[in-house]
Amino acid sequence: MSAQPAGSRPASAPPVTDSPAATPSGVGLPDPGRDGGGGRLIAVLAFTGIVVALMQTLLIPVIGQLPELLHTSLSNATWAMTATLLSGAVATPIMGRLGDLYGKRRLILVSVGAVVVGSLVAAVGSDLALVVIGRAIQGFAMGAIPLGISLMRDVLPRERLGSALALMSSSLGVGGALGLPLAAYVAQHYSWHTLFYGAAALGVVSFVLVLVAVPESDVRAEGRFDHAGTVGLSAGLLALLLPITKGGDWGWTSPLTLGLVVAGLAILVLWGVLELRVRDPLVDLRTTVRRQVLLTHLTAITVGVSFYAMSLVLPQLLELPTSTGYGLGQSLLVAGLAVAPMGVSMMLVSPLSARISAARGPKTSLILGLAVIGGAYVAAQGLMNAVWQVALITTMVGAGIGLAYSALPTLIMGAVEVSETGAANGLNTLMRSIGTSVSSAVLGTVLARNTVSFGGTDVPNMTGFRISFLIATGTVALGVLLAAFLPSARRTASLASER
């Protein structure tokens, strides 16, 4: 299939598909002598995705110690977390488009290089500014995951594509879950600088593996890179996401918070109008509003919300003292280990998700995953009294997230041109990040308003935890409703045959 510039696309949409087997002709057919079917490539890209995702949870175990470690206030210290979130949100659609234009492997190497450079910048001193700069650079690595998904579509055999996409997409959650106990162990036994030096070392290993084992894709989009669109999207996202992540510190009704929200929305509306007039847009909004693409993006937001709810609530429950009457009194390391089964279950269900998608369509996998997540949060209302119960809930949520995450890229790639997969998957990853940002803001506010005084400090109470899980359950229900309107496997097959 030849790539077409945005300005010369036919009026009719490309066929949408609910099956990874329905990859466009000529795609997914590697050199017969390459890697015996792609096993090495899949392993390297999945490892790279996990390394990149580790950056999201790298500082969570030491978040409470950051003010002392960086000689600053708690409000300022949270910039070390916010910087990665913001830069990652901006980077994913941009890196995806650059990969479509100039080569996905090349941009994966750039993304992994950001892990190394950012980690070293953050590791060399104890100054807040250096750590924030380093963390912002690390955030640009998030583009590696959608780039890896798109590269797999270009070069893997069709029979391997479904399971490979499922594993790569799940690496975002796997890395985050496995990173918690690993980072907690390092933080307890070594200097916090070791966290960054270790991340740099993992980045170097990943860079070398990609350089040696991953081939470049020959699929390219035509046209030029949209510099003006990049500036507009970056400005709009930063203006919108910044008050979402810092609104709790600034005040949700403060002039700064409200002003940035209004400015962000205005910039994004103007950006959208301009993108519709550009021959080679950063994001093809005409493609984005197709039913399958739009509903998949909206559902990705709900998955992001539900994913972060568990990550925010359960570690606090595990670490609060037993003398509160509901806390489980565990160390950072034990709390991390109790959450780690989420990553393991995500990895284990990836092949199952691929089989369900192949047999019933990714819509089925997505709805099933959301149902499992919702069931886990309902069960959590009565399963927060022991470490094993928390581990059970994290395992269930991980299984649901694995099913849902694995279905998202298949749905996206079934509805866009081959040459647009990098940008489209980057935008879908951005939607997940927006979901986690919204979840952090909303649930953080809920927990802050439902507290009990303990040892002179306000800590979240059980009511706050339960309300948080109710919100997550409601969000999952909304996700199921959105996913229900996705084209069915039979309908998409009919559309494809009409083409």
Of the pLDDT bands very low, low, confident and very high (cuts 50, 70, 90), residue 378 is: very high
**Range with lowest mean pLDDT among 48-52, 287-291, 379-383:** 287-291
- Whether 110 has a pLDDT exceeding 80, the answer reads yes
**Claim to verify: residue 273 and residue 289 sit in the same structural domain:** no
Residue 11 lies in a domain: no
What pLDDT was estimated at residue 328? 83
Of the pLDDT bands very low, low, confident and very high (cuts 50, 70, 90), residue 262 is: very high
- What tens digit of pLDDT does each residue of 293-317 get? 889 989 999 988 888 787 778 888 8
Residue 152 lies in a domain: yes
Could you give the 3-state DSSP secondary structure of residue 242?
A: helix
**What DSSP string describes 131-183?**
HHHHHHHHHGGGGHHHHHHHHHHHHS-HHHHHHHHHHHHHHHHHHHHHHHHHH
Mark which of 234, 249, 279 sits at the end of a domain: 279
- Whether 234 has a pLDDT exceeding 50, the answer reads yes
**Claim to verify: residue 252 and residue 204 sit in the same structural domain:** no
**Claim to verify: residue 265 and residue 284 sit in the same structural domain:** no
**Range with lowest mean pLDDT among 285-299, 325-339, 391-405:** 325-339
Of the pLDDT bands very low, low, confident and very high (cuts 50, 70, 90), residue 25 is: very low
- Whether 282 has a pLDDT exceeding 70, the answer reads yes
**Claim to verify: residue 253 and residue 356 sit in the same structural domain:** no
* 193-198: average pLDDT: 88
What pLDDT was estimated at residue 6? 41
Question: Which of 311, 20, 19 has its CA nearest to residue 160?
Answer: 20
Question: Which of 338, 346, 324 has its CA nearest to residue 389?
Answer: 338
- Whether 22 has a pLDDT exceeding 50, the answer reads no
What pLDDT was estimated at residue 27? 39
Residue 236 lies in a domain: yes
Cross-strand partners of 458: 453
**Claim to verify: residue 39 and residue 167 sit in the same structural domain:** yes
Distance, CA of 267 to CA of 383 (rounded, Å): 44
Please indicate whether residue 229 or residue 208 has the higher confidence score (pLDDT). 208
Tell me, what CATH number does 201's domain have?
Answer: 1.20.1250.20
Tell me which range, 187-196, 240-249, 372-381, 486-495, is most confidently predicted by mean pLDDT: 372-381
Cross-strand partners of 459: 452
- Looking at the structure of the chain, the number of domains it has is 2
**Claim to verify: residue 339 and residue 466 sit in the same structural domain:** yes
- What tens digit of pLDDT does each residue of 379-417 get? 988 888 888 988 899 889 888 988 888 888 888 877 777
Mark which of 279, 299, 314 sits at the end of a domain: 279
Residue 97 lies in a domain: yes
**Claim to verify: residue 77 and residue 94 sit in the same structural domain:** yes
What pLDDT was estimated at residue 140? 87
**Claim to verify: residue 194 and residue 243 sit in the same structural domain:** no
**What DSSP string describes 330-389?**
--HHHHHHHHTHHHHHHHHHHHHHHHHHHHH-HHHHHHHHHHHHHHHHHHHTT--SSHHH
Residue 104 lies in a domain: yes
**Claim to verify: residue 286 and residue 429 sit in the same structural domain:** yes
**Claim to verify: residue 344 and residue 452 sit in the same structural domain:** yes
Largest Cα span, the chain: 68
Residue 370: partners with Cβ closer than 8 Å, 6 or more residues away: 299, 302, 303, 306, 400, 404, 476, 479, 480, 483
**Claim to verify: residue 215 and residue 77 sit in the same structural domain:** yes
Angle, to 10 degrees, between the axis of helix 39-57 and the axis of helix 79-102?
150
Residue 445 lies in a domain: yes
* CB of 85 closer than 8 Å to CB of 430: no
Residue 335 lies in a domain: yes
Distance, CA of 401 to CA of 174 (rounded, Å): 10
Cross-strand partners of 457: 454
**Claim to verify: residue 242 and residue 214 sit in the same structural domain:** no
* CB of 420 closer than 8 Å to CB of 153: no
- Whether 491 has a pLDDT exceeding 80, the answer reads no
What pLDDT was estimated at residue 419? 67
Of the pLDDT bands very low, low, confident and very high (cuts 50, 70, 90), residue 37 is: low
Residue 291 lies in a domain: yes
What pLDDT was estimated at residue 26? 37
- Whether 231 has a pLDDT exceeding 60, the answer reads yes
What pLDDT was estimated at residue 74? 66
Please indicate whether residue 172 or residue 49 has the higher confidence score (pLDDT). 49
Mark which of 259, 279, 299 sits at the end of a domain: 279
Q: Which domain holds residue 59?
A: 19-225+280-498
